Amino acid sequence: MRGEACDGAALSDASALTLKPLMKIMALLQIAEPGQSTAPHEHRLAVGIDLGTTNSLVATVRNGISVVINDEYGHPLLPSVVHYQADGTVTVGYEAQARGNEDPHNTIVSVKRFMGRGIKDIPDLATLPYHFVDAPGMVQLKTAAGVKSPVEVSAEILKALKARAEAALAGELTGAVITVPAYFDDAQRQATKDAARLAGLNVLRLLNEPTAAAIAYGLDNAAEGVYAVYDLGGGTFDISILKLTKGVFEVLATNGDSALGGDDFDRRIYCWILEQAGLAAIGDHDKRLLLTRAREAKEMLTDHPVADITAILSSGQVVDLKLTEQAFHDMTESLVNKTLLPTRKALRDAGLQPADIKGVVMVGGSTRMPRIQAAVGEFFGQTPLTNLDPDKVVALGAAIQANVLAGNRAGDDWLLLDVVPLSLGIETMGGLVEKIIPRNSTIPTARAQEFTTFKDGQTAMAIHVVQGERELVSECRSLARFELRGIPPMVAGAARIRVTFQVDADGLLAVSAREMSSGVEAHIEVKPSYGLTDDEVARMLRDSYEHARSDVEARQLAELKVDGQRLVEATEAALAEDGEALLDARERAAIDALLQAMREALQGDDAKAIKRALEALNQGTGDFAARRMDASVRRALTGHKLEELDI
């Protein structure tokens, strides 16, 4: 870990500008009492989005209460279905779903399962009616409107939710919290964040779905103790063990299966139908029809002992079957057990027994299945909690967090401590993994480890970043490969290469490597190979026909202005709180000058000038920010055995 103090160059250069801003100080002092924010208290529109495999939702906090935003027909859910037409028309949701049976190739359902996944990762390729394109990193789908990446498809769903929210709230969104399965690996998280960027959303945070549910549940019920969140969605399964104490949601352990969900139950029924009806090769149209019937039968069995399955295939053949509860149980027993294995692992990682769990919160539409509730109840020896709508609870919790992160309420009332779901490491000799960040480490986290060369005169080192629990690289997920070049030639074992892993609050990884021994430094920052660069996102935006080049530029300008305005407000608030205590007159004047330059740049439409002013203000406030942070840490410890501190 290194403390990166900003250099004072920006401050000293600004000394010629001290006269003008002095007046500004007085103005600020007049309007702001210490500890009071100078930022206008304006309600910022922020939403929580549950981007689900089967359905997606958007929620917001209105008058202090988290509510799901319905569409114009009163539907809370948006089916996560996207339909593409040859003329480029895109439809999303129920309308797209309605076209699914007619036009299965161009109707993408459950796209979440393909996020950050290669073609080899999709086990049931044969039952899916899509034309997959094997692309490096992530699989792509060939549609009538061209080849689409899962990121682009997901962005369409997010755009629809954004439009819904902006219409309902009558304004532009400041930002959004997007939920992801806790067990999503880095590639899947990165893909989700890219989709949000592509949809034009400012991502306040990627939040784990079980944690979002815990916020909604915990705050509602004033819960204290250790809780398990059992989250079985359409295509993903998460189990999180959380310790809830006054205002702190601490994830102790998480586990899951990012390729297990309600869809798998549908497929078991689908296969049973094929077997019972003696069907072998059927067309894509019939596949989609029977998958739909399978899902309907599963839902029917939630409160009926028997479900009728009837369908007329394109050949004219009639399918007419009865599926009993018992037969359904028998064919899905192994799926239910597949959720209990990660549950046991999570408990063991948390060092707990089922009896230590005070309550089990059920999340995700698939937990409506009576068999699931019974199995979970039996495992924990208690009736699971279902008092919040399992479809909505994640979005509701995300909205509550979005409201805090957007700055609409002081977030002093609670704290989320989440973890990395899967260990992160690098490949070492013999195809083995050296773990650098173990699973269930609290995020954000940074860890460094030193490696060395194994050949005399070696000047480059290949670094392969992987994620997973297995010891062999071949059994873990490959996230990124990069090379550190320019190592000075030395004898084997003499170089000291420090590899640093950093996981941010979104659970996203950045890796850097540096040769330490000779004073010559080589340094590289990588993004996982599935992640899109800013240029790629810009290109995707341009590619989409609705965004002419000028639109892209207009949007970039608008985003810069929002960033600039946000920084002005944040700096003003910081100055009002701590400016007097932590800055001398010269430092204060320098910051005021930068602030004024930022305000002036924001008056115009010169994107480059705004960017320059932004960077200068960020640079110039680095020291001040560091002192503020130190002061607040010191304040936090006051009262904690200060008498024992021998500072």
Partner 1 sequence: MLDFNRNHFELFGLKPGFAIDAGALEQAYRSIQSEVHPDRFAHAGEAEKRLSMQWTARVNEAYATLRKPFERARYLLELQGIEALDPNNTRMPADFLVQQMEWREALAEAQAAKDLAGLQRLEQEMRRVADGLQVQLAALLDERHDYAQAAEVLRQYRFMEKLLAQIDDAYEEIE
Q: In which order are the strands placed within the sheet that holds 81-84?
A: 90-92, 81-84, 107-109
Q: Smallest distance from the beta carbon of 174 to partner 1, in angstroms? A: 8
Is 220 labeled as catalytic in the residue annotation?
no
The alpha-carbon radius of gyration of the chain (Å, integer) is 27
The dihedral built from the CA positions of residue 346, 349, 355 and 360, taken in this order, carries a sign that is negative
Q: Map tokens 């692309």 to a residue.
A: 135
Q: Is 7 helix (H, G, I), strand (E, B) or coil?
A: coil
Q: Is 486 helix (H, G, I), strand (E, B) or coil?
A: coil
CA 71 to chain centre: 24
Report the residue from 216, 251, 289, 416 that binds partner 1 according to the rule CB under 8 A: 416
Q: Which is nearer to partner 1, 236 or 621 (CB)?
A: 621
Query: What are the residues whose beta carbons fall under 8 Å from the beta carbon of 176, sequence distance 6 or more?
Result: 46, 47, 48, 49, 162, 196, 201, 202, 203, 204, 402
The rounded distance, in Å, linking the Cα atoms of 345 and 351 is: 10
Alpha-carbon distance values, 169 to 44, 173, 394 (Å): 11, 9, 20
Q: Which is nearer to partner 1, 495 or 574 (CB)?
A: 574
Selected range binding partner 1 among 49-57, 94-102, 107-115, 628-636, rule: CB under 8 A: 628-636
The rounded distance, in Å, linking the Cα atoms of 353 and 121 is: 33
Q: Which is nearer to partner 1, 608 or 635 (CB)?
A: 635
444: preceding bond cis by omega (within 30 degrees):
yes
Q: Map tokens 């990165």 to a residue.
A: 190
Contact call for residue 492 and partner 1 (CB under 8 A): no
Selected range binding partner 1 among 59-67, 220-228, 275-283, 405-413, rule: CB under 8 A: 405-413
Amino acid identity of 434? Answer: E
Q: Smallest distance from the beta carbon of 622 to partner 1, in angstroms? A: 4
Q: Map tokens 């009262």 to a residue.
A: 639
Report the residue from 4, 534, 535, 546 that binds partner 1 according to the rule CB under 8 A: 4
Report the residue from 193, 298, 514, 628 that binds partner 1 according to the rule CB under 8 A: 628
Alpha-carbon distance values, 297 to 54, 124, 129, 303, 304 (Å): 16, 21, 21, 11, 10
Contact call for residue 567 and partner 1 (CB under 8 A): yes
Candidate list 71, 103, 112, 623, residue with the active-site label:
112
Contact call for residue 129 and partner 1 (CB under 8 A): no
Amino acid identity of 119? Answer: I
| Residues between 302 and 341 with contacts to partner 1, criterion CB under 8 A | 341
Contact call for residue 6 and partner 1 (CB under 8 A): yes
Q: Which is nearer to partner 1, 112 or 205 (CB)?
A: 205
Contact call for residue 344 and partner 1 (CB under 8 A): yes
Candidate list 71, 103, 186, 231, residue with the active-site label:
231
- Judge residue 7's burial from the number of C-beta atoms within 10 Å of its C-beta, 0-12 exposed, 13-18 middle, 19 or more buried: exposed
Contact call for residue 403 and partner 1 (CB under 8 A): no
Q: Which two tokens stand for residue 203?
A: 């991502």
Report the residue from 412, 534, 535, 546 that binds partner 1 according to the rule CB under 8 A: 412
The rounded distance, in Å, linking the Cα atoms of 67 and 169 is: 12
Q: Is 100 helix (H, G, I), strand (E, B) or coil?
A: coil
Partners of 48 in the beta sheet?
59, 177
Closest CA to 323 of 311, 299, 336, 305: 305
Contact call for residue 644 and partner 1 (CB under 8 A): yes
Is 120 labeled as catalytic in the residue annotation?
no
Q: Which is nearer to partner 1, 2 or 608 (CB)?
A: 2
Selected range binding partner 1 among 26-34, 226-234, 398-406, 460-468, rule: CB under 8 A: 398-406
Q: Which is nearer to partner 1, 4 or 535 (CB)?
A: 4
Is 345 labeled as catalytic in the residue annotation?
no
Is 606 labeled as catalytic in the residue annotation?
no
- Structural contact between residues 444 and 452, judged by C-beta atoms closer than 8 angstroms: no
The rounded distance, in Å, linking the Cα atoms of 15 and 19 is: 9
Selected range binding partner 1 among 84-92, 157-165, 255-263, 502-510, rule: CB under 8 A: 502-510
Contact call for residue 622 and partner 1 (CB under 8 A): yes
CA 509 to chain centre: 12
Selected range binding partner 1 among 138-146, 295-303, 386-394, 570-578, rule: CB under 8 A: 570-578
Q: Which is nearer to partner 1, 308 or 615 (CB)?
A: 615
Q: Smallest distance from the beta carbon of 344 to partner 1, in angstroms? A: 6
Selected range binding partner 1 among 221-229, 366-374, 551-559, 626-634, rule: CB under 8 A: 626-634
Q: Smallest distance from the beta carbon of 207 to partner 1, in angstroms? A: 10
Q: Is 351 helix (H, G, I), strand (E, B) or coil?
A: coil
* Count of residues engaged in binding partner 1, rule: CB under 8 A: 63
Q: Which residues bind partner 1 (CB under 8 A)?
A: 1-4, 6, 44, 175, 204-205, 248, 341, 344-345, 348, 401, 404-407, 411-412, 415-417, 441-447, 502, 504-505, 566-567, 569-571, 574, 617-619, 621-622, 624-626, 628-630, 632-637, 640-642, 644-645, 647
Catalytic residues, which ones?
50, 112, 209, 231
